[in-house]
Amino acid sequence: MPVIKHKSGLTRITHYRYFGRTVALLVILVLTGAYLAYEYRYRLEVMMEDFFEPKKELPAQAPDNRPKLIATFRDQPPNMFYYSKGRFSGPLRLVLEQAANEIGYRVDWRQQALSASLAGLADNSIDIVPHVRSRTREREKAYRYSANIREEQRSVYFALWEHNPKVIKGLSDLEGMAVGYPQGNYFNTDFQRASHFNKAAYSTVESMVLAFHRQEINVMLVSSKREVEQRLQAIGARSVKYADFTLDDNPGLYFLYSKNPAQQAVYDRLDQALINMKKQGAIEDIFHSFALAAPEQGSQEPAGHDKYEWRLK
């Protein structure tokens, strides 16, 4: 006589419990994915535009006949950063493109070092240079500043060879040393006025790193640890260390415009678009989308700076 097996009520309840947990987990995952897609929508928008190109069999898109603004980009994480060869992202890209779109313009991006970008502003071959921190009289004479985009804490580091016994606790400890820095950058007034050490300006971070490797300079002034360390690694150089002393301030964040008379009315409209975006919270929304959090008091760049998650004010 066949034996009929049946599951007990306890077994069925256990199965229902597992099924309910699975459904609940799926719901949580879907909701979490939707939330992250919304929070990081600006970053995803840039990535998708760069990686997903129209299929060849589709008809070509109509040419963009809007007037263009020529802007430059460089590796300045977390506000602008390279994420693959020839591609960059960051909140400043989105802020400028959205503001330009508001006034009926498009942005034509070109990769250039800061020194070359400033030279382009001077001869009117470049319209806009993003990511400018310090506002100086010298720069105001040569270029036009945009509306202030936001306030940010900035720390600039002093890099030495890892086994260099020198201890730097202040500018006075640089006595007789050769300090390299990227041309076009402006640091605090004490550094600019100091004369007890030698200063060497370099057109690019790469040329500064090479001079450091050749021991033409003893110290590098560094705003992006990640970029300097990548340059050193590329040439097989040994590691560096950073002094405990840093140059800290809380400057604004600006775009620099050329003083081309033909473009001043355009810059007026662009500034107004930036001001409106700031009032409406759109700028902070974009920065938040790139996971840039408010800093704790006295915080500095954390160890994971290569992940572009540095804390800003």
Higher pLDDT, 222 or 23: 222
Number of domains in the chain: 3
Residue 45 pLDDT: 59
**Buried b / exposed e across 259-294, counting CB within 10 Å, b at 16+?**
ebeebeebbeebbebbbebbeeebbeebbbbbebee
The verdict on 140 and 275 lying in the same domain is yes
pLDDT, tens digit, 9 for 90 and up, residues 15-62: 666 777 777 777 777 767 666 666 565 555 555 555 555 545 555 667
d(CA 93, CA 204): 21
The verdict on 167 and 296 lying in the same domain is no
Instruction: Show the CA angle centred on residue 178, arms to residues 176 and 181, nearest 5°.
Output: 140
Q: Name the amino acid, one letter, at 265.
A: A
d(CA 301, CA 11): 54
Residue 117 in domain: yes
Final residue of a domain: which of 198, 228, 248?
248
Least confident span in 73-77, 163-167, 246-250, 298-302:
298-302
The verdict on 142 and 23 lying in the same domain is no
Least confident span in 14-28, 188-202, 212-226, 254-268:
14-28
* 42 burial level (CB within 10 Å; 0-12, 13-18, 19+): buried
φ, ψ of residue 254 to 5 degrees: the values are: -130, 165
Residue 297 pLDDT: 34
Least confident span in 80-94, 187-201, 233-247, 276-290:
80-94
The residue range of the domain holding 20 is 9-39
Regarding beta strands 252-257 and 219-222, do their DSSP bridges make them parallel or antiparallel, or are they unpaired? unpaired
The verdict on 166 and 145 lying in the same domain is no
Residue 48 in domain: no
Residues facing 181 on adjacent strands: 201
CB 166 within 8 A of CB 245: no
**Is residue 11 pLDDT above 60, yes or no?**
no
Q: How far does the chain reach from its first CA to its final CA, in angstroms?
A: 79
The verdict on 265 and 207 lying in the same domain is no
Residue 301 pLDDT: 37
Range with top average pLDDT, 64-78, 142-156, 160-174, 217-231: 160-174
Full-model pTM: 0.58
**Buried b / exposed e across 121-145, counting CB within 10 Å, b at 16+?**
beeeebbbbbbbbbeeeebeeebbb
Residue 29 pLDDT: 76
